[in-house]
Amino acid sequence: MVNTPRKRLVIGNWKMHGDTAFNSELLAGLRTGIQSVAQCDVAVCVPFPYLYQVRSLLEGSGVTWGGQDVSEHEKGAYTGEVAAAMLADFNCRWVLVGHSERRGYHGESDATVAAKAAAALAAGLTPVVCVGETLQEQEAGQTHAIIERQLAPVLALGADAVSRTVIAYEPVWAIGTGRTATPEQAQEVHALIRGRLDAAGTPQVRILYGGSVKASNAASLFAMADIDGALVGGAALVASEFLSIAAA
Ligand code: PEP
């Protein structure tokens, strides 16, 4: 099988930041600066209330957008939840599922994360499935076992589904801490994930690295064979910094 190169992808995760004035300025910066970043897909995942604003300001810019979470249910009596079809209604292309802050603070299980990925796919969205070990798990030498465990129910969705996902490896100890995995540490886990994706018959799935990615460390991470881009938190809130990461 001949594999075509995987196009790079950089996604900003705004987390629970922003307001309409701040967003306007950030989005204007992205709209202007994106012209110089042709070889990379660029997207932002934003808080739900701002999807309308983000669509209005990014439409036709080349920057795509998405949500940070989605319900595993299609519709119904699920107060406070947001359905995948609602995200699709705002022309979202992406949705994060299983971010460590969802797994950690909201008790989302591996099975729930896979169910959310399936719901996103059913609505035509690309789920960005986040996996990653905690510091304690890393120190106990459990990194590979944790990643395998988190991936298993997603891989069980089948090759057709998996081929329409993106995987993000985000070691929890590197998120928002300023402590980035070394390129070699990240590559080692990406290679494990790549092996599982190859075995599942889905070699084209992109694997992003996330955890304190900045303009200053992006190029060395992207030089690794199995790192296809980044999921960026804090640095995605500054247009020039975020675009520099995409340019790397
Ligand atoms: C994230 O929120 O997914 C993330 C990687 O955050 P940060 O870049 O701030 O570590």
Tell me which residue has its CA closest to atom 7 in ligand 1: 233
Tell me which residue has its CA closest to atom 8 in ligand 1: 233
pLDDT bin (cut points 50, 70, 90) of residue 62 is very high
pLDDT bin (cut points 50, 70, 90) of residue 3 is low
pLDDT at 1 over 60: no
Token pair of 3 as six digits: 């594999």
Q: Tell me, what's the pLDDT at 5? A: 85
How far apart (Å, rounded) are the C-alpha atoms in residues 96 and 81?
Answer: 14
Per cent of the chain over pLDDT 90 is: 93
Question: Which atom number of ligand 1 is nearest to the Cα of residue 235?
Answer: 8
Catalytic residue among 72, 133, 170, 241: 170
Name which of 132-141, 172-181, 214-223 the model is least confident about.
172-181
Tell me which residue has its CA closest to atom 1 in ligand 1: 233
99 a catalytic residue:
yes
Q: How far is CA 47 from CA 23, 69, 178, 241, in A?
A: 11, 9, 23, 20
How far apart (Å, rounded) are the C-alpha atoms in residues 226 and 235?
Answer: 22
Q: Tell me, what's the pLDDT at 154? A: 98
Number of C-beta neighbours around residue 123 at 10 A: 18
Token pair of 190 as six digits: 């990406």
Cα 133 to ligand 1 centroid, rounded to whole Å: 14
Q: Tell me, what's the pLDDT at 36? A: 82
Token pair of 19 as six digits: 């307001």
Mean pLDDT of the chain: 96
Q: Tell me, what's the pLDDT at 2? A: 53
Q: Tell me, what's the pLDDT at 104? A: 95
Question: Which atom number of ligand 1 is nearest to the Cα of residue 100?
Answer: 3
Q: Tell me, what's the pLDDT at 177? A: 86
Q: What are phi and psi of 95, to 5 degrees?
A: -150, 135
> What pLDDT digit, counting tens, does each position of 177-223 carry?
888 889 999 999 999 999 999 999 999 999 999 999 999 999 999 99
Beta-strand relationship, 229-232 and 206-210 = parallel
Per cent of the chain over pLDDT 70 is: 99
Q: Which of 69, 231, 241, 245 has most ligand 1 atoms within 8 Å of CB, for mutation? A: 231
Cα 197 to ligand 1 centroid, rounded to whole Å: 24
**Binding site membership of 101 for ligand 1 (Cβ less than 6 Å):** no
pLDDT bin (cut points 50, 70, 90) of residue 63 is very high
> What pLDDT digit, counting tens, does each position of 73-114 carry?
999 999 999 999 999 999 999 999 999 999 999 999 999 999
pLDDT at 176 over 90: no
pTM above threshold 0.85: yes
Identify any residues that bridge with 96 across adjacent strands, giving them in sequence order: 128
Q: Tell me, what's the pLDDT at 35? A: 85
**Binding site membership of 15 for ligand 1 (Cβ less than 6 Å):** yes
Tell me which residue has its CA closest to atom 3 in ligand 1: 233
74 a catalytic residue:
no
